[in-house]
Structure 1
């Protein structure tokens, strides 16, 4: 592995059964077919650094919101051989509860966040329960504390985290959602996070029903395609098909940790 190429791991930590109609703004309420969501964090591993993308949620949030933790985030990181105390950079794609919890896991890390996302998560939009229900006030408050402790690096649009790893503001789902572009041996992989929850959102030009700006979200699909080496290099944020399509990191983690720097197997 060269200095500019990284291994990329998708680590599933939770799941939620869900009807397909609930996953699309224009979902048919009569459609009772199932389309569950998986919850992931991602790890970008190079020769001299490991960057974690998103931090997930823990048991308390799972109980409160009716989600099922399949493997705690820390267990997944350990299984992927990642020493949490050595992680120096954590990218938060956006501040929703399922991407910005587990405060205690990365005590030595600097957090990377878009300016727009911090303003969104701590400003006037949070006066609306219909918007703030996807956030956890404690997660936002802890990010404010990190700002005062000098542990947050803000980005305004595109920014480099390390050679071969960049962030790109997409918006749409939240005001400051950012995707992550990673150079790998197979080309540029783009971690879309919730810029596209499911493959179906990008492929069909449809939208998940939690959003800040619909036009921005739909325009974001083209940005993801421009950033990635091909459409097969874009990884959605919650699709169980990610586990099916990519090779397992090891035999022991076949159903919950996969390698995104390797070509899809199906």
Structure 2
């Protein structure tokens, strides 16, 4: 079978952040540290898979985190509408990754069983752990389950030929990453297994975490899933836009090799 094309679609940014928001025990915690928000498009001929859905304008207003573009509109340069999307891999159920599930009404979801159990279980009694989730998004996932349009994975699983998922946990109990076969090798869409290159390359955990040991172990896992360190794609790093070639105004092609240098944190 042929390889997949993979694109990062940027739909939001949040620059009013500091390094303390991104790294535990950072020596420069008060320094500014911006964040990009992406969803990812996989395409092979007529086959299309969306990885995560972003969130919509209403969620952005509720959290005071406005979006740059509606996730549905991010698909337009590829000749796609929301109704074209039949398969969505949900890396985890945090608002910025599952906040647009309702925008893709025809999609069958792929989710780790551990993530559904976590998002609907007793851990959500804690405000701190519940903060990144929004109840309506979880309810949408449950509705897909009850309509027969949700597949659970327990650890490693295959979504399509050349596309696999792997639970790493850490940031959220059922966080999964996506491994994709491309023309330049196996690419790992790490999502929030590593928000930034610096998280995994310097072994610096992100502060929103349910299990620090799992997060640290996940840094090794995502590197083992990729054919090269440069093919690990962080979930929120603006540097992605410097490392990979631009495809459209807010889209970057991840499957044709690097044009920039992956940072070093020696």
- Using the size of structure 2 for normalisation, the TM-score is 0.94
Please state how far the C-alpha of 1:48 moved relative to its aligned partner.
3.0
- Corresponding position: 1:114 with 2:108: no
Segments of 5+ residues of structure 2 without an aligned counterpart are 261-266
Counting only pairs closer than 5 Å after superposition, residues 63-212 of structure 1 correspond to structure 2 as 63-212=61-210
Query: Whole-Å Cα distance in 2 between the matches of residues 4 and 169 of structure 1?
Result: 25
Please state how far the C-alpha of 1:19 moved relative to its aligned partner.
0.9
- Given that 1:80 and 1:249 are in contact with CA atoms closer than 8 Å, whether structure 2 keeps it comes out as no
Segments of 5+ residues of structure 1 without an aligned counterpart are none
Query: Whole-Å Cα distance in 2 between the matches of residues 59 and 197 of structure 1?
Result: 22
Kindly provide the CA deviation profile for residues 24-71 of structure 1, in whole angstroms up to 9, marking residues without a partner as x: 12134x643211110000000011310000001011111122213112
1:44 is matched with which residue?
42
What CA RMSD, in Å, does the superposition of the two structures yield over aligned residues?
1.1
Query: Whole-Å Cα distance in 2 between the matches of residues 176 and 38 of structure 1?
Result: 22
Query: Whole-Å Cα distance in 2 between the matches of residues 156 and 50 of structure 1?
Result: 23
Query: Whole-Å Cα distance in 2 between the matches of residues 86 and 58 of structure 1?
Result: 18
Q: 2:256 aligns with which of 242, 254, 262?
A: 262
Query: Whole-Å Cα distance in 2 between the matches of residues 88 and 60 of structure 1?
Result: 24
Counting only pairs closer than 5 Å after superposition, residues 241-252 of structure 1 correspond to structure 2 as 241-250=239-248
- Corresponding position: 1:11 with 2:5: no
2:263 is matched with which residue?
none
Query: Whole-Å Cα distance in 2 between the matches of residues 58 and 259 of structure 1?
Result: 23
Please state how far the C-alpha of 1:107 moved relative to its aligned partner.
1.4
Q: How many residues align?
A: 259
Stretches of 4+ aligned residues off by more than 6 angstroms: none
1:27 is matched with which residue?
26
